[in-house]
Amino acid sequence: DIEMTQSPSTLSASVGDRVTITCRASQTITDWLAWYQQKPGKAPKLLIYRASGLETGVPSRFSGSGSGTEFTLTISSLQPDDFATYYCQQYYTYSNTFGQGTKLEIK
């Protein structure tokens, strides 16, 4: 199975900061990568598809990039609503594996 590794596991930042989360795949997944946001007690929400495609309704301060084995999710200017846990997920193979998550905390 393809393993997905996110870094950092926890990120402390302030409103207005630019932040980047990294996701690495154990083998190439071309650009079959999605990013999700999850808030406590809620289901995950799809943010990014195909590594860089912005899901409908997601604010443009979110962006994704990368291909092959290394990917990033960037939030250009953190808003209070963005403090949450973020997951990457590969869908190159049917095992659909997720990263372990990155918790974005208020500094």
Partner 1 sequence: EVQLEESGGGLVQPGRSLRLSCEVSGFTFEDYGIHWVRQVPGKGLEWVSGISWKSGNTAYADFVKGRFTISRDQAKNSLYLQMNSLKTEDTALYYCAKGSIVAITVAIRGDLFDFWGQGTMVTVSA
Residue 69 makes contact with partner 1 by CB under 8 A: no
Identify which of residues 15 and 53 has a Cβ nearer to partner 1 in the complex: 53
DSSP 98: B
Applying CB under 8 A, among 21, 23, 34, 51 the residue interacting with partner 1 is 34
- 31 is a contact residue toward partner 1 (CB under 8 A): no
Least distance from C-beta 81 to partner 1, angstroms?
18
Interface stretch with partner 1, choices 10-18, 20-28, 44-52, 69-77 (CB under 8 A): 44-52
Cβ contacts of 12 within 8 Å, gap of 6 or more: 105, 106, 107
d(CA 68, CA 21): 16
Within 10 angstroms of residue 72's Cβ, the number of other Cβ atoms is 16
Question: How far apart, in whole angstroms, are the C-alpha atoms of residue 14 and residue 36?
Answer: 20
**What residues make contact with partner 1 under the rule CB under 8 A?**
1, 32, 34, 36, 38, 43-46, 49, 55, 87, 89-101
